[in-house]
């Protein structure tokens, strides 16, 4: 494909900086796609917060992500941000949106084709927007996280920068949890596994549900066997990976992708994940971790952790979940879109 003569706009969310300092999976993926495209010769403009870091052209109307600046009204920031990208649509051959359903409402107002990567359906209440714009161009981040009737061009798995997560051998003795402190992520189940196995658990992540943290997590914290250390960035993740026997990811709803599963595997850390949603696509059962259906199975899986080859975990990430693999997937999708658009021209 001829890359340098195509101009792509990447529309990143603005809850956090792109890439985020700590939490922000969507911003992480938008950043990785942007940097991967630039490295392969594409002319890319990243629409993100002004403090974002990129080798692409950066276009911003908001100084900081609204989660990092309490003076910013989220809706005002979002619509200033989205509208700016679409008002400049004629400057680009393609807009690649990571902005969920809101950006879809602009897509029929411009001639530039828009590709939407769907990072997950947050609620059934947003589905009328997807149904109205179902004939657009969509990519899913896992085969399991799809909605009927949408015009999917492909599934492209999220990719990470493996250089950020060096292989940790031989690993440590602790269990770790990395992610949002929210019932969906099953922190309470990870605590139960730690209690039943007698293995220390270190919990890291943003508190997204204060009541859940107060009622089901905080009472178990003792600074010895169950610890909560707050949100961590890449250096903090690597410190946890170095001391990890396994990552626990006992999600209570179908996982959409699970970026932390890939990050852990890249560092050689085996993952014990609930067999819901995309976990089966990301984790190779018995090779890079174990898929389980309940706490009892998770405890049993801990007894088999020594069977997992840490180098094999990293090798699988390199093959299926690297930035290069992801960007190659998107290049194929872009090519499909450009071909379809060319056929539609009179």
Asked whether residue 130 falls in the same domain as residue 211, the answer is no
Asked whether residue 2 is domain-assigned, the answer is: no
Global pTM reads 0.94
Asked whether residue 205 falls in the same domain as residue 146, the answer is no
Q: What's residue 22's pLDDT? A: 85
Asked whether residue 240 is domain-assigned, the answer is: yes
Which candidate, 73, 76, 129, 77, places its Cα nearest to that of 100? 129
Give the integer Cα–Cα distance in Å for 342 and 199. 59
**Burial (CB count within 10 angstroms: exposed 0-12, middle 13-18, buried 19+), residue 149:** exposed
Asked whether residue 1 is domain-assigned, the answer is: no
Give the integer Cα–Cα distance in Å for 233 and 28. 12
Asked whether residue 72 falls in the same domain as residue 173, the answer is no
DSSP-derived secondary structure for 121-143: ---GGGHHHHHHTTTSEEEESST
Sequence-separated (6 or more) residues with CB below 8 Å from residue 39: 55, 327
Asked whether residue 65 is domain-assigned, the answer is: yes
Q: How many domains does the chain have?
A: 2
Asked whether residue 14 falls in the same domain as residue 68, the answer is yes
Residue 167 sits in a domain whose CATH number is 3.40.50.2000
Asked whether residue 59 is domain-assigned, the answer is: yes
Asked whether residue 261 falls in the same domain as residue 331, the answer is no
Q: What's residue 323's pLDDT? A: 97
Range of the domain at 89: 7-159+322-344
Asked whether residue 200 falls in the same domain as residue 304, the answer is yes
Q: What's residue 122's pLDDT? A: 85
Asked whether residue 226 falls in the same domain as residue 243, the answer is yes
Q: Where are the alpha helices (DSSP H) in the chain?
A: 25-39, 74-87, 127-132, 187-197, 210-212, 234-242, 259-266, 279-282, 295-302, 310-320, 323-344
Record the tokens describing residue 206, joined without a space.
């943003």
Record the tokens describing residue 169, joined without a space.
């051998």
Asked whether residue 223 falls in the same domain as residue 150, the answer is no
Which residue ranges in the chain fall short of pLDDT 70? 1-4
Asked whether residue 153 falls in the same domain as residue 238, the answer is no
Contact (CB, 8 A) for 246 and 269: yes
DSSP-derived secondary structure for 302-330: HTTGGGS-HHHHHHHHHHHSBHHHHHHHH
Asked whether residue 207 is domain-assigned, the answer is: yes
Asked whether residue 101 falls in the same domain as residue 112, the answer is yes
Sequence-separated (6 or more) residues with CB below 8 Å from residue 322: 159, 160, 162
Q: What's residue 171's pLDDT? A: 87
Asked whether residue 239 falls in the same domain as residue 104, the answer is no
Asked whether residue 24 is domain-assigned, the answer is: yes
Give the integer Cα–Cα distance in Å for 35 and 31. 6
DSSP-derived secondary structure for 155-199: E----B-GGGS----S--SEEEEES-BSGGGTHHHHHHHHHHHT-
Asked whether residue 173 falls in the same domain as residue 267, the answer is yes
Asked whether residue 315 is domain-assigned, the answer is: yes
């Amino acid at each position: 494909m001829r890359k340098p003569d195509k101009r792509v706009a990447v529309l990143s969310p603005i809850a956090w900086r792109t890439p985020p300092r700590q939490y922000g999976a969507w911003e992480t993926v938008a950043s990785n796609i942007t940097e991967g495209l630039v490295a392969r010769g594409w002319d890319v403009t990243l629409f993100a917060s002004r403090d974002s870091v990129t080798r692409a052209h950066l276009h911003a109307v908001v100084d900081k992500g609204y989660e990092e600046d309490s003076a910013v009204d989220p809706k005002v920031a979002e619509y200033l941000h989205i509208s700016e990208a679409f008002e400049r649509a004629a400057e680009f051959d393609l807009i690649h949106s990571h902005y969920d359903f809101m950006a879809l409402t602009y897509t029929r107002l411009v001639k530039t084709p828009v590709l939407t990567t769907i990072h997950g359906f947050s609620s059934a209440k947003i589905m009328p927007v997807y149904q109205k714009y179902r004939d657009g161009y969509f990519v899913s981040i896992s085969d399991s996280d799809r909605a009927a009737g949408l015009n999917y061009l492909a599934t492209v798995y999220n990719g990470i920068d493996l250089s950020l997560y060096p292989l940790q051998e031989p690993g440590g003795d602790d269990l770790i949890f990395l992610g949002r402190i929210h019932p969906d992520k099953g922190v309470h189940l990870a605590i139960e596994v730690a209690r039943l196995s007698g293995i220390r658990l270190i919990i890291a992540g943003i508190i997204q549900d204060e009541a859940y943290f107060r009622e089901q997590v905080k009472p178990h914290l003792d600074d010895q066997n169950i610890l909560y250390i707050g949100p961590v960035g890449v250096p903090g993740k690597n410190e946890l990976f170095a001391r990890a026997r396994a990552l626990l990811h006992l999600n209570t709803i179908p996982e959409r992708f699970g970026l932390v599963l890939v990050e852990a595997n890249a560092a050689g850390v085996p993952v014990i994940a609930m067999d819901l949603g995309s976990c089966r696509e990301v984790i190779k059962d018995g090779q890079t971790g174990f898929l389980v259906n309940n706490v009892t199975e998770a405890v049993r899986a801990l007894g088999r952790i020594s069977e997992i080859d840490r180098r094999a975990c990293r090798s699988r990430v390199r093959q299926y979940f690297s930035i290069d693999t992801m960007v190659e997937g998107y290049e194929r999708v872009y090519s499909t879109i450009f071909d379809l658009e060319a056929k539609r021209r009179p």
